[in-house]
Amino acid sequence: MRKSQLYSIAFGFSILVLLSFSLLLFNSLNSYSEYSALVEHTQVVMNNLQKIHSQVVDAETGQRGFLLTRDSSFLRPLLIARLEVPVTLDSLKQLTIENANENEQIDTLKAVIWEKFQIMEQTLNISPFISAQSLNKRLEEGRVRMDDFRSVINSIMKSEQDLLKERAIKKLKFERITPNYFKVIISITAIVSFVTFVLLMQELKQRNTAQTLLETRFHALNRSNAELQQITHVTSHDLQEPLRKIGIFSDALIVKFKNQVPHEVLAILKRINTNAFRVRELVADLSAFTSLSTPDGKIESVNLSDIIVKIQTALSSKINSLNAVIEASPIPTVMGYPHQLEMLFTELVSNGLKFSKPDVSPRILISSSSVMGKENDLLNPLRQYLMVLVADNGIGFEEEYSNRIFILFQKLHSHEDIYEGKGLGLSLCQRIMANHEGFITATGESGVGATFRLYFPL
Protein backbone atom coordinates (compact mmCIF):
# COMPACT_ATOMS: atom_id res chain seq x y z
CA MET A 1 0.00 0.00 0.00
CA ARG A 2 2.75 2.45 0.97
CA LYS A 3 4.81 1.40 -2.01
CA SER A 4 2.00 2.12 -4.44
CA GLN A 5 1.44 5.50 -2.77
CA LEU A 6 5.11 6.29 -3.26
CA TYR A 7 4.85 5.29 -6.92
CA SER A 8 1.83 7.54 -7.40
CA ILE A 9 3.62 10.49 -5.83
CA ALA A 10 6.74 9.90 -7.96
CA PHE A 11 4.63 9.58 -11.09
CA GLY A 12 2.64 12.73 -10.30
CA PHE A 13 5.84 14.64 -9.58
CA SER A 14 7.50 13.63 -12.85
CA ILE A 15 4.37 14.59 -14.78
CA LEU A 16 4.47 17.99 -13.02
CA VAL A 17 8.15 18.50 -13.91
CA LEU A 18 7.46 17.50 -17.50
CA LEU A 19 4.54 19.91 -17.70
CA SER A 20 6.64 22.78 -16.30
CA PHE A 21 9.40 22.20 -18.79
CA SER A 22 6.91 21.92 -21.63
CA LEU A 23 5.49 25.27 -20.58
CA LEU A 24 8.99 26.77 -20.52
CA LEU A 25 9.69 25.32 -23.93
CA PHE A 26 6.46 26.72 -25.30
CA ASN A 27 7.24 30.18 -23.94
CA SER A 28 10.78 30.06 -25.22
CA LEU A 29 9.63 29.03 -28.70
CA ASN A 30 7.07 31.84 -28.68
CA SER A 31 9.63 34.43 -27.61
CA TYR A 32 12.09 33.21 -30.19
CA SER A 33 9.63 33.61 -33.04
CA GLU A 34 8.51 36.97 -31.63
CA TYR A 35 12.06 38.33 -31.56
CA SER A 36 12.78 36.88 -35.01
CA ALA A 37 9.81 38.82 -36.35
CA LEU A 38 10.98 41.98 -34.53
CA VAL A 39 14.51 41.68 -35.93
CA GLU A 40 13.04 41.32 -39.39
CA HIS A 41 10.83 44.34 -38.74
CA THR A 42 13.80 46.50 -37.72
CA GLN A 43 15.63 45.43 -40.83
CA VAL A 44 12.68 46.45 -43.01
CA VAL A 45 12.58 49.86 -41.28
CA MET A 46 16.31 50.30 -41.78
CA ASN A 47 16.10 49.31 -45.44
CA ASN A 48 13.38 51.89 -45.97
CA LEU A 49 15.49 54.58 -44.25
CA GLN A 50 18.44 53.60 -46.45
CA LYS A 51 16.24 53.87 -49.51
CA ILE A 52 15.01 57.36 -48.54
CA HIS A 53 18.51 58.44 -47.73
CA SER A 54 19.94 57.35 -51.05
CA GLN A 55 17.00 58.77 -53.02
CA VAL A 56 17.32 62.20 -51.33
CA VAL A 57 21.12 62.17 -51.82
CA ASP A 58 20.64 61.18 -55.48
CA ALA A 59 18.12 64.01 -55.94
CA GLU A 60 20.53 66.51 -54.39
CA THR A 61 23.40 65.25 -56.58
CA GLY A 62 21.11 65.39 -59.68
CA GLN A 63 20.10 68.99 -58.85
CA ARG A 64 23.74 70.06 -58.71
CA GLY A 65 24.50 68.23 -61.95
CA PHE A 66 21.61 70.01 -63.68
CA LEU A 67 22.72 73.40 -62.37
CA LEU A 68 26.19 72.81 -63.76
CA THR A 69 25.28 71.25 -67.11
CA ARG A 70 21.64 72.24 -67.70
CA ASP A 71 21.12 68.64 -68.83
CA SER A 72 17.57 67.76 -67.85
CA SER A 73 18.37 64.06 -67.46
CA PHE A 74 20.04 65.03 -64.14
CA LEU A 75 16.57 65.87 -62.82
CA ARG A 76 15.38 62.24 -63.05
CA PRO A 77 16.45 61.22 -59.50
CA LEU A 78 14.62 64.26 -58.08
CA LEU A 79 11.46 63.31 -59.95
CA ILE A 80 11.69 59.71 -58.73
CA ALA A 81 12.39 60.87 -55.16
CA ARG A 82 9.40 63.24 -55.26
CA LEU A 83 7.23 60.31 -56.26
CA GLU A 84 8.64 57.51 -54.14
CA VAL A 85 9.88 59.12 -50.92
CA PRO A 86 6.38 60.08 -49.65
CA VAL A 87 5.23 56.47 -50.24
CA THR A 88 8.24 55.10 -48.40
CA LEU A 89 7.70 57.62 -45.59
CA ASP A 90 4.09 56.55 -45.26
CA SER A 91 5.05 52.92 -45.00
CA LEU A 92 7.72 53.87 -42.40
CA LYS A 93 5.06 55.74 -40.47
CA GLN A 94 2.96 52.57 -40.49
CA LEU A 95 5.88 50.36 -39.52
CA THR A 96 6.81 52.51 -36.53
CA ILE A 97 3.25 53.12 -35.37
CA GLU A 98 3.96 51.38 -32.07
CA ASN A 99 7.15 53.35 -31.41
CA ALA A 100 5.89 56.88 -30.53
CA ASN A 101 9.32 58.43 -30.33
CA GLU A 102 10.37 57.14 -33.72
CA ASN A 103 7.00 57.93 -35.20
CA GLU A 104 7.52 61.52 -34.17
CA GLN A 105 11.00 61.51 -35.68
CA ILE A 106 9.54 60.20 -38.93
CA ASP A 107 7.21 63.25 -38.91
CA THR A 108 10.23 65.49 -38.40
CA LEU A 109 12.01 63.67 -41.22
CA LYS A 110 9.02 64.17 -43.44
CA ALA A 111 9.01 67.91 -42.71
CA VAL A 112 12.74 68.20 -43.28
CA ILE A 113 12.52 66.34 -46.60
CA TRP A 114 9.56 68.44 -47.59
CA GLU A 115 11.46 71.65 -46.96
CA LYS A 116 14.47 70.23 -48.73
CA PHE A 117 12.43 69.41 -51.82
CA GLN A 118 10.85 72.90 -51.70
CA ILE A 119 14.22 74.58 -51.63
CA MET A 120 15.51 72.35 -54.42
CA GLU A 121 12.54 73.08 -56.65
CA GLN A 122 12.61 76.81 -55.93
CA THR A 123 16.35 76.92 -56.64
CA LEU A 124 15.83 75.05 -59.91
CA ASN A 125 12.96 77.38 -60.89
CA ILE A 126 14.75 80.59 -60.22
CA SER A 127 18.33 79.52 -61.09
CA PRO A 128 18.28 80.97 -64.68
CA PHE A 129 17.31 84.38 -63.30
CA ILE A 130 19.54 84.91 -60.31
CA SER A 131 23.18 85.80 -59.85
CA ALA A 132 25.85 83.24 -59.06
CA GLN A 133 26.14 84.72 -55.60
CA SER A 134 22.44 84.31 -54.90
CA LEU A 135 22.56 80.79 -56.29
CA ASN A 136 25.44 79.93 -53.98
CA LYS A 137 23.50 81.30 -51.08
CA ARG A 138 20.49 79.14 -51.95
CA LEU A 139 22.73 76.12 -52.42
CA GLU A 140 24.24 76.81 -49.01
CA GLU A 141 20.74 76.88 -47.56
CA GLY A 142 20.06 73.56 -49.30
CA ARG A 143 23.23 72.10 -47.80
CA VAL A 144 22.15 73.15 -44.32
CA ARG A 145 18.78 71.45 -44.91
CA MET A 146 20.65 68.40 -46.18
CA ASP A 147 22.62 68.30 -42.93
CA ASP A 148 19.38 68.52 -41.00
CA PHE A 149 18.04 65.61 -43.05
CA ARG A 150 21.16 63.55 -42.40
CA SER A 151 21.06 64.28 -38.72
CA VAL A 152 17.40 63.22 -38.44
CA ILE A 153 17.79 60.10 -40.53
CA ASN A 154 20.97 59.15 -38.66
CA SER A 155 19.20 59.57 -35.37
CA ILE A 156 16.39 57.27 -36.53
CA MET A 157 18.95 54.84 -37.90
CA LYS A 158 20.79 54.92 -34.61
CA SER A 159 17.72 54.10 -32.55
CA GLU A 160 16.78 51.35 -35.02
CA GLN A 161 20.27 49.93 -34.78
CA ASP A 162 20.05 49.94 -31.00
CA LEU A 163 16.73 48.15 -31.26
CA LEU A 164 18.17 45.65 -33.69
CA LYS A 165 21.07 44.95 -31.38
CA GLU A 166 18.82 44.48 -28.39
CA ARG A 167 16.36 42.27 -30.29
CA ALA A 168 19.09 40.21 -31.91
CA ILE A 169 20.60 39.48 -28.47
CA LYS A 170 17.23 38.32 -27.15
CA LYS A 171 16.58 36.26 -30.25
CA LEU A 172 19.93 34.61 -29.79
CA LYS A 173 19.23 33.96 -26.13
CA PHE A 174 15.99 32.13 -26.92
CA GLU A 175 17.60 30.43 -29.88
CA ARG A 176 20.17 28.99 -27.49
CA ILE A 177 17.87 28.14 -24.61
CA THR A 178 15.08 26.35 -26.57
CA PRO A 179 17.09 23.23 -27.48
CA ASN A 180 18.10 22.96 -23.80
CA TYR A 181 14.47 22.73 -22.77
CA PHE A 182 14.01 20.06 -25.41
CA LYS A 183 16.96 18.14 -24.03
CA VAL A 184 15.63 18.35 -20.48
CA ILE A 185 12.16 17.16 -21.54
CA ILE A 186 13.58 14.28 -23.53
CA SER A 187 15.89 13.33 -20.66
CA ILE A 188 13.08 13.39 -18.08
CA THR A 189 10.82 11.39 -20.37
CA ALA A 190 13.57 8.87 -20.94
CA ILE A 191 14.31 8.57 -17.21
CA VAL A 192 10.64 8.26 -16.28
CA SER A 193 10.10 5.67 -19.01
CA PHE A 194 13.14 3.71 -17.89
CA VAL A 195 12.20 3.78 -14.22
CA THR A 196 8.61 2.83 -15.09
CA PHE A 197 9.90 -0.03 -17.21
CA VAL A 198 12.19 -1.28 -14.43
CA LEU A 199 9.41 -1.02 -11.83
CA LEU A 200 6.95 -2.76 -14.12
CA MET A 201 9.40 -5.57 -14.78
CA GLN A 202 10.02 -5.92 -11.05
CA GLU A 203 6.29 -5.97 -10.36
CA LEU A 204 5.75 -8.50 -13.12
CA LYS A 205 8.50 -10.69 -11.73
CA GLN A 206 7.00 -10.51 -8.25
CA ARG A 207 3.58 -11.31 -9.64
CA ASN A 208 4.96 -14.26 -11.55
CA THR A 209 6.63 -15.55 -8.41
CA ALA A 210 3.45 -15.04 -6.44
CA GLN A 211 1.40 -16.75 -9.11
CA THR A 212 3.73 -19.72 -9.25
CA LEU A 213 3.54 -19.98 -5.48
CA LEU A 214 -0.23 -19.68 -5.64
CA GLU A 215 -0.43 -22.40 -8.27
CA THR A 216 1.81 -24.69 -6.20
CA ARG A 217 -0.33 -24.06 -3.13
CA PHE A 218 -3.47 -24.54 -5.18
CA HIS A 219 -2.29 -27.94 -6.37
CA ALA A 220 -1.26 -28.87 -2.85
CA LEU A 221 -4.66 -27.80 -1.61
CA ASN A 222 -6.38 -29.82 -4.29
CA ARG A 223 -4.30 -32.82 -3.30
CA SER A 224 -5.12 -32.48 0.36
CA ASN A 225 -8.76 -31.93 -0.51
CA ALA A 226 -8.73 -35.15 -2.50
CA GLU A 227 -7.10 -36.88 0.47
CA LEU A 228 -9.70 -35.42 2.77
CA GLN A 229 -12.42 -36.79 0.53
CA GLN A 230 -10.76 -40.19 0.66
CA ILE A 231 -10.62 -39.98 4.45
CA THR A 232 -14.27 -38.96 4.47
CA HIS A 233 -15.08 -41.95 2.33
CA VAL A 234 -13.05 -44.27 4.55
CA THR A 235 -14.64 -42.94 7.73
CA SER A 236 -18.15 -42.98 6.38
CA HIS A 237 -17.99 -46.50 4.93
CA ASP A 238 -15.02 -48.57 6.01
CA LEU A 239 -14.89 -47.38 9.62
CA GLN A 240 -18.62 -47.50 10.17
CA GLU A 241 -18.98 -51.18 9.35
CA PRO A 242 -16.64 -52.68 11.97
CA LEU A 243 -18.19 -50.37 14.56
CA ARG A 244 -21.66 -51.48 13.57
CA LYS A 245 -20.56 -55.06 13.98
CA ILE A 246 -18.99 -54.54 17.41
CA GLY A 247 -22.32 -53.05 18.43
CA ILE A 248 -24.46 -55.76 16.94
CA PHE A 249 -22.29 -58.66 18.16
CA SER A 250 -22.18 -57.31 21.71
CA ASP A 251 -25.92 -56.81 21.46
CA ALA A 252 -26.30 -60.40 20.22
CA LEU A 253 -24.39 -61.62 23.28
CA ILE A 254 -26.64 -59.59 25.56
CA VAL A 255 -29.86 -60.76 23.90
CA LYS A 256 -28.90 -64.40 23.56
CA PHE A 257 -27.13 -65.01 26.85
CA LYS A 258 -28.66 -62.56 29.29
CA ASN A 259 -29.97 -65.39 31.44
CA GLN A 260 -26.79 -67.42 31.36
CA VAL A 261 -23.98 -64.97 32.24
CA PRO A 262 -23.28 -63.02 35.44
CA HIS A 263 -24.59 -59.47 35.73
CA GLU A 264 -21.05 -58.10 35.67
CA VAL A 265 -20.45 -59.55 32.21
CA LEU A 266 -23.70 -58.09 30.96
CA ALA A 267 -22.79 -54.68 32.36
CA ILE A 268 -19.44 -54.76 30.58
CA LEU A 269 -21.11 -55.89 27.36
CA LYS A 270 -23.56 -53.02 27.63
CA ARG A 271 -20.68 -50.59 28.03
CA ILE A 272 -18.97 -52.03 24.94
CA ASN A 273 -22.24 -51.70 23.08
CA THR A 274 -22.89 -48.12 24.19
CA ASN A 275 -19.36 -47.03 23.33
CA ALA A 276 -19.45 -48.68 19.93
CA PHE A 277 -22.68 -46.80 19.26
CA ARG A 278 -21.18 -43.49 20.42
CA VAL A 279 -18.07 -43.93 18.27
CA ARG A 280 -20.28 -44.69 15.31
CA GLU A 281 -22.25 -41.53 15.82
CA LEU A 282 -19.06 -39.50 16.19
CA VAL A 283 -17.67 -40.96 12.99
CA ALA A 284 -20.94 -40.27 11.20
CA ASP A 285 -20.93 -36.64 12.42
CA LEU A 286 -17.31 -36.20 11.51
CA SER A 287 -17.92 -37.50 8.06
CA ALA A 288 -20.93 -35.18 7.75
CA PHE A 289 -18.68 -32.33 8.79
CA THR A 290 -15.86 -33.15 6.37
CA SER A 291 -18.32 -33.69 3.55
CA LEU A 292 -19.32 -30.04 4.04
CA SER A 293 -15.84 -28.96 2.95
CA THR A 294 -16.72 -29.89 -0.59
CA PRO A 295 -20.19 -28.45 -1.05
CA ASP A 296 -22.36 -30.59 -3.23
CA GLY A 297 -25.43 -29.50 -5.17
CA LYS A 298 -26.24 -26.13 -6.64
CA ILE A 299 -26.76 -22.78 -4.96
CA GLU A 300 -30.40 -21.83 -5.26
CA SER A 301 -32.93 -19.47 -3.79
CA VAL A 302 -33.98 -20.91 -0.43
CA ASN A 303 -37.02 -19.87 1.58
CA LEU A 304 -35.83 -19.98 5.19
CA SER A 305 -39.37 -19.64 6.56
CA ASP A 306 -40.33 -22.85 4.75
CA ILE A 307 -37.27 -24.58 6.18
CA ILE A 308 -38.20 -23.54 9.71
CA VAL A 309 -41.74 -24.90 9.26
CA LYS A 310 -40.24 -28.16 7.97
CA ILE A 311 -37.93 -28.40 10.98
CA GLN A 312 -40.80 -27.73 13.39
CA THR A 313 -42.65 -30.67 11.85
CA ALA A 314 -39.60 -32.91 12.03
CA LEU A 315 -38.92 -32.00 15.66
CA SER A 316 -42.60 -31.88 16.66
CA SER A 317 -42.47 -34.80 19.09
CA LYS A 318 -39.57 -33.22 20.97
CA ILE A 319 -41.16 -29.77 20.83
CA ASN A 320 -44.42 -31.16 22.23
CA SER A 321 -42.76 -33.21 24.94
CA LEU A 322 -40.83 -30.15 26.18
CA ASN A 323 -43.86 -27.91 25.73
CA ALA A 324 -41.60 -25.65 23.68
CA VAL A 325 -42.62 -22.59 21.67
CA ILE A 326 -40.93 -21.57 18.45
CA GLU A 327 -41.78 -18.08 17.27
CA ALA A 328 -40.53 -17.25 13.80
CA SER A 329 -41.24 -14.00 11.98
CA PRO A 330 -41.10 -14.18 8.16
CA ILE A 331 -37.54 -14.36 6.82
CA PRO A 332 -36.56 -13.37 3.25
CA THR A 333 -35.15 -15.98 0.90
CA VAL A 334 -31.39 -16.39 0.67
CA MET A 335 -29.12 -17.95 -1.94
CA GLY A 336 -27.67 -21.18 -0.63
CA TYR A 337 -27.57 -24.94 -0.39
CA PRO A 338 -31.05 -26.07 0.77
CA HIS A 339 -29.85 -29.25 2.46
CA GLN A 340 -27.11 -27.46 4.38
CA LEU A 341 -29.42 -24.65 5.47
CA GLU A 342 -31.88 -27.23 6.76
CA MET A 343 -29.03 -28.85 8.73
CA LEU A 344 -28.03 -25.44 10.06
CA PHE A 345 -31.46 -24.50 11.41
CA THR A 346 -32.08 -28.03 12.68
CA GLU A 347 -28.87 -27.74 14.71
CA LEU A 348 -29.75 -24.32 16.09
CA VAL A 349 -33.33 -25.23 17.01
CA SER A 350 -32.23 -28.59 18.47
CA ASN A 351 -29.58 -26.71 20.40
CA GLY A 352 -32.23 -24.42 21.86
CA LEU A 353 -34.37 -27.39 22.85
CA LYS A 354 -31.42 -29.40 24.18
CA PHE A 355 -29.99 -26.72 26.44
CA SER A 356 -33.29 -25.66 27.97
CA LYS A 357 -33.63 -25.10 31.70
CA PRO A 358 -35.15 -28.11 33.45
CA ASP A 359 -38.13 -26.22 34.90
CA VAL A 360 -38.79 -23.69 32.11
CA SER A 361 -40.53 -24.36 28.77
CA PRO A 362 -38.09 -23.66 25.95
CA ARG A 363 -38.89 -20.58 23.89
CA ILE A 364 -37.01 -20.00 20.66
CA LEU A 365 -37.33 -16.73 18.75
CA ILE A 366 -36.29 -16.49 15.11
CA SER A 367 -36.24 -13.13 13.34
CA SER A 368 -34.27 -11.34 10.68
CA SER A 369 -33.12 -7.88 9.63
CA SER A 370 -30.86 -6.28 7.08
CA VAL A 371 -27.59 -4.90 8.48
CA MET A 372 -24.46 -3.22 7.16
CA GLY A 373 -21.11 -5.01 7.46
CA LYS A 374 -19.83 -2.24 9.73
CA GLU A 375 -21.84 -3.71 12.59
CA ASN A 376 -19.38 -6.52 13.25
CA ASP A 377 -15.62 -6.85 12.87
CA LEU A 378 -15.99 -10.24 11.18
CA LEU A 379 -17.95 -8.77 8.29
CA ASN A 380 -16.92 -6.92 5.17
CA PRO A 381 -17.73 -3.29 6.08
CA LEU A 382 -18.74 -2.49 2.51
CA ARG A 383 -21.33 -5.23 2.16
CA GLN A 384 -24.87 -5.58 3.29
CA TYR A 385 -25.99 -8.67 5.17
CA LEU A 386 -29.19 -10.43 6.09
CA MET A 387 -28.92 -11.14 9.79
CA VAL A 388 -31.01 -14.04 11.12
CA LEU A 389 -31.31 -14.11 14.88
CA VAL A 390 -32.00 -17.34 16.78
CA ALA A 391 -32.46 -16.70 20.50
CA ASP A 392 -33.43 -19.10 23.27
CA ASN A 393 -34.22 -18.86 26.97
CA GLY A 394 -32.10 -21.88 27.94
CA ILE A 395 -29.16 -22.33 30.24
CA GLY A 396 -26.96 -20.04 28.10
CA PHE A 397 -23.21 -19.88 28.59
CA GLU A 398 -20.54 -17.59 29.96
CA GLU A 399 -19.71 -14.79 27.53
CA GLU A 400 -16.00 -15.73 27.57
CA TYR A 401 -16.82 -19.01 25.83
CA SER A 402 -18.60 -17.38 22.87
CA ASN A 403 -15.79 -18.34 20.48
CA ARG A 404 -14.94 -21.69 22.02
CA ILE A 405 -18.36 -23.16 21.38
CA PHE A 406 -17.64 -23.27 17.64
CA ILE A 407 -14.56 -25.48 18.03
CA LEU A 408 -14.96 -29.05 16.81
CA PHE A 409 -16.13 -31.41 19.58
CA GLN A 410 -15.81 -28.67 22.19
CA LYS A 411 -18.42 -29.07 24.88
CA LEU A 412 -19.13 -26.46 27.53
CA HIS A 413 -21.52 -28.64 29.44
CA SER A 414 -20.03 -31.90 30.59
CA HIS A 415 -23.18 -33.23 32.21
CA GLU A 416 -23.65 -35.86 29.58
CA ASP A 417 -26.56 -37.39 31.41
CA ILE A 418 -28.67 -34.25 31.06
CA TYR A 419 -27.46 -32.71 27.81
CA GLU A 420 -26.81 -35.25 25.14
CA GLY A 421 -24.65 -34.43 22.15
CA LYS A 422 -21.12 -34.68 20.98
CA GLY A 423 -20.22 -31.02 20.59
CA LEU A 424 -20.17 -31.00 16.83
CA GLY A 425 -23.35 -29.12 15.97
CA LEU A 426 -22.06 -25.56 16.21
CA SER A 427 -18.87 -26.35 14.26
CA LEU A 428 -21.19 -27.69 11.60
CA CYS A 429 -23.15 -24.41 11.69
CA GLN A 430 -19.96 -22.39 11.36
CA ARG A 431 -18.84 -24.51 8.42
CA ILE A 432 -22.21 -24.14 6.71
CA MET A 433 -22.14 -20.36 7.16
CA ALA A 434 -18.60 -20.31 5.70
CA ASN A 435 -19.90 -22.25 2.70
CA HIS A 436 -22.42 -19.42 2.24
CA GLU A 437 -19.68 -16.76 2.59
CA GLY A 438 -21.38 -15.78 5.81
CA PHE A 439 -20.64 -15.82 9.53
CA ILE A 440 -22.18 -16.99 12.76
CA THR A 441 -21.70 -15.40 16.16
CA ALA A 442 -22.91 -16.47 19.57
CA THR A 443 -23.66 -14.40 22.62
CA GLY A 444 -24.96 -15.76 25.86
CA GLU A 445 -25.56 -15.21 29.50
CA SER A 446 -25.40 -18.03 31.96
CA GLY A 447 -28.89 -18.93 33.14
CA VAL A 448 -30.60 -16.47 30.77
CA GLY A 449 -30.17 -17.88 27.28
CA ALA A 450 -28.08 -17.98 24.14
CA THR A 451 -28.40 -15.87 20.97
CA PHE A 452 -27.00 -16.87 17.61
CA ARG A 453 -26.65 -14.41 14.78
CA LEU A 454 -26.29 -15.66 11.22
CA TYR A 455 -25.00 -13.21 8.63
CA PHE A 456 -25.78 -13.98 4.99
CA PRO A 457 -24.19 -11.62 2.46
CA LEU A 458 -26.77 -9.89 0.25
Partner 1 sequence: MQENRTILIAEDDSDDRLLLETAFKETGLDIELVFANNGVELLKVLTAKGQEHYPRMILLDLNMPKKDGREALKELKQHPLLKKIPVIIFTTTKNEAEIARCYELGANTYVVKPDSYSELLKVVNQLKNYWFETASVALK
Nearer to partner 1, 205 or 258 (CB): 258
Nearer to partner 1, 218 or 257 (CB): 257
Nearer to partner 1, 224 or 274 (CB): 274
Nearer to partner 1, 255 or 382 (CB): 255
CB of 256 to partner 1, least distance (A): 8
CB of 258 to partner 1, least distance (A): 11
Nearer to partner 1, 273 or 368 (CB): 273
Nearer to partner 1, 10 or 246 (CB): 246
Number of H helices and E strands in the chain, helices first, is 10, 7
Nearest alpha-carbon partner for 308 in 278, 273, 349: 349
- Contact (Cβ atoms closer than 8 angstroms) between residue 356 and residue 394: yes
Chain positions 111 to 170 lying near partner 1, rule: CB under 8 A, are none
Max intra-chain CA distance, the chain: 185
CB of 295 to partner 1, least distance (A): 18
CB of 241 to partner 1, least distance (A): 7
Chain positions 198 to 227 lying near partner 1, rule: CB under 8 A, are none
Alpha-carbon distance of 69 to 163, in angstroms, equals: 44
The Cβ-side half-sphere exposure at 427, using a 13 Å CA radius, reads 19
Nearer to partner 1, 144 or 248 (CB): 248
Helices (H), 70-131: 76-95, 100-126
CB of 445 to partner 1, least distance (A): 39
CB of 326 to partner 1, least distance (A): 27
Chain positions 234 to 293 lying near partner 1, rule: CB under 8 A, are 240-241, 244-245, 247-249, 251-252, 254-256, 277, 280
- Contact (Cβ atoms closer than 8 angstroms) between residue 106 and residue 45: no
- Contact (Cβ atoms closer than 8 angstroms) between residue 297 and residue 337: yes
Give me the amino acid identity at 300: E
- Listed in sequence order, the residues at least 6 apart from 313 whose beta carbon sits closer than 8 Å to its beta carbon are none
Alpha-carbon distance of 338 to 319, in angstroms, equals: 23
- Listed in sequence order, the residues at least 6 apart from 318 whose beta carbon sits closer than 8 Å to its beta carbon are 324, 350, 353
Alpha-carbon distance of 80 to 75, in angstroms, equals: 9
CB of 242 to partner 1, least distance (A): 9
> Binding residues for partner 1, how many (CB under 8 A)?
14
Binding residues for partner 1, rule: CB under 8 A, are: 240-241, 244-245, 247-249, 251-252, 254-256, 277, 280
